């Protein structure tokens, strides 16, 4: 991904919208082990770890507590003093969760929405990124400016008209209504443009000489060469869509159509006194993304550095 730092970078804020920042701000990472090149003394390293380790514990504690409570039967969860390890650990809450709520259906909905949005981003963001990087046509710069300037529009200001629009299309309370207003995004277009710009023109030319159509050049030549950038766009689109809350909350209302975050938030209102059930729901929603992160850790961190996403 380092190639795309060459001329510009965008970072996506938690509201799903990236803000471009000049690459000069984010220089390439060197492999230096020390700011001044001198190896750390043992004492220094211990002092640093004495701060970083407790902070890491604070960072990860909510997940630990989520899982611990999820594994603790409700009667034991309200014990004083609270126990830091699961007492009488059981899967009682999980069983109860699957009985009380269509959790698998919610997971399925989340998955469908996330995959659909991811595929749309991969195709449409790459197409636009390719055109902005390699094609010349009147109005190109104006269009690019327009797209980048949409960064200044908070999603919240578009909610009411979007909802009216989606309702008139008959897509309220429909997974398509969640997908449609997210089929492209600035982050992906920007990232793809930066990456494709670095690809040599000869490859395209060669394909054209062989008689390939415009689409074939894009799909068979550009896309395979852009795999690292596409991977970043794919991962961040998937995770962003899986975690989205406000828009699905507005569009979806039938219980069996909800996504995991919306459904689990609803559980909290329905079973406000059953904390075990709530934590089991939270764990079921959070764990898939954690697993994904552990698998694609490098992509995530490079993605933030190069194109950045959530806060």
Partner 1 sequence: MRMTTTAERVPGAPRRGVRFWRRHGAGYLFVLPSMVFFLLFMFLPLGWSFVISFQKFGLAQSSWVGLDNYVSLLNDPVFLQAAFNTILYSVLTVAVWVLVAMVLATLIHPLPPRFRTFFRAAYYLPAVTSAVFIALVWRWILNANPWGLANYVLSLFGAGPLGFISDPSPFLGVSVALWSVILSSMLTIPAVGVVLYSAALSGIPRDLYEAAESEGASAITKFRYITVPLLKPITLYVVVLYTIAAFEVFERVYVMTGGGPGYATNTIVYLIWRTGFRFGEYGLASAEAFLLFIVIATISLLQFRALRSDVEY
Pick from 65, 99, 112, 70: which is nearest to 260 by CA? Answer: 112
Cis peptide before 81 (omega within 30 of 0): yes
For the record, the structure tokens of 254 come out as 């039938």
Q: How many residues sit close enough to partner 1 to count as binding (CB under 8 A)?
A: 119
Q: Does 170 bind partner 1 (CB under 8 A)?
A: no
| Region 7-36 residues binding partner 1, contact defined as CB under 8 A | 11, 13-15, 19, 21-22, 24-36
Least distance CB 256 / partner 1 (angstroms): 19
Nearer to partner 1 (CB atom), residue 94 or residue 239: 239
Q: Does 48 bind partner 1 (CB under 8 A)?
A: yes
Figure out which of the listed residues 8, 177, 307, 308 binds partner 1, where binding follows CB under 8 A.
308
| Region 115-144 residues binding partner 1, contact defined as CB under 8 A | 123-125, 127-128, 130-132, 135-138, 140, 143
Figure out which of the listed residues 6, 7, 40, 170 binds partner 1, where binding follows CB under 8 A.
40
Nearer to partner 1 (CB atom), residue 71 or residue 244: 244
The residue written with tokens 């992906």 in the block is 188
Nearer to partner 1 (CB atom), residue 98 or residue 293: 293
For residue 173, the tally of other CB atoms under 10 A from its CB is 14
Whether 166 contacts 251, CB under 8 Å = yes
Q: DSSP per residue over 74-134, as a string?
A: HHHHT-SSPPSS-TT--SHHHHHHHHHS-HHHHHHHHHHHHHHHHHHIIIIIHHHHHHHHH
- Helices 186-197 and 126-134, packing angle to 10 deg: 40
Pick from 281, 185, 271: which is nearest to 234 by CA? Answer: 185
Annotate each residue in 57-96 with x if it binds partner 1 (CB under 8 A) or - if it does not, as one string: -xxx-xx-xx--x-------xxxxxx--------------
Q: Considering only 92-100, 101-109, 194-202, 289-297, which stretch makes contact with partner 1 by CB under 8 A?
A: 289-297
Least distance CB 10 / partner 1 (angstroms): 11
For the record, the structure tokens of 207 come out as 């394909």
Q: Does 147 bind partner 1 (CB under 8 A)?
A: yes
């Amino acid at each position: 991904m380092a190639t795309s730092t060459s001329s510009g970078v965008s970072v996506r804020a938690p509201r799903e919208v990236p803000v471009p920042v000049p690459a000069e701000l984010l220089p390439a990472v060197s492999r230096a082990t020390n700011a001044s090149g001198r190896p750390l003394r043992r004492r220094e390293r211990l002092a640093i770890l004495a701060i970083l380790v407790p902070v890491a514990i604070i960072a990860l504690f909510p997940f630990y507590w989520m899982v611990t409570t999820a594994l603790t039967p409700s009667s034991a969860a309200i014990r004083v003093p609270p126990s830091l390890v699961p007492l009488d650990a059981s899967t009682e809450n999980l069983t109860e969760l699957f009985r009380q709520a269509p959790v698998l259906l919610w997971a399925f909905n989340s998955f469908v929405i996330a995959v659909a949005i991811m595929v749309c981003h991969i195709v449409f963001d790459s197409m636009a990124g390719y055109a902005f990087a390699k094609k010349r046509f009147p109005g190109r710069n104006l269009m690019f400016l327009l797209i980048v300037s949409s960064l200044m529009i908070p999603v919240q200001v578009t909610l009411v008209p979007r909802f009216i629009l989606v309702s008139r299309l008959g897509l309220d309370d429909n997974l398509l209504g969640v997908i449609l207003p997210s089929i492209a995004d600035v982050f992906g277009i920007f990232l793809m443009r930066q990456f494709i710009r670095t690809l040599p023109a000869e490859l395209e030319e060669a394909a054209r000489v062989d008689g390939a159509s415009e689409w074939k050049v894009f799909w068979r030549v550009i896309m395979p060469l852009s795999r690292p950038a596409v991977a970043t766009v794919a991962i961040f689109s998937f995770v962003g869509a899986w975690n989205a809350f406000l828009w699905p909350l507005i569009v979806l209302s039938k219980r069996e159509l909800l996504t995991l975050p919306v459904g689990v938030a609803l559980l909290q209102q329905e079973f406000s006194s059953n904390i075990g059930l709530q934590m089991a729901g939270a764990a079921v929603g959070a764990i898939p993304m954690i697993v994904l992160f552990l698998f694609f850790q490098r992509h995530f961190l490079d993605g933030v550095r190069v194109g950045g996403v959530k806060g």
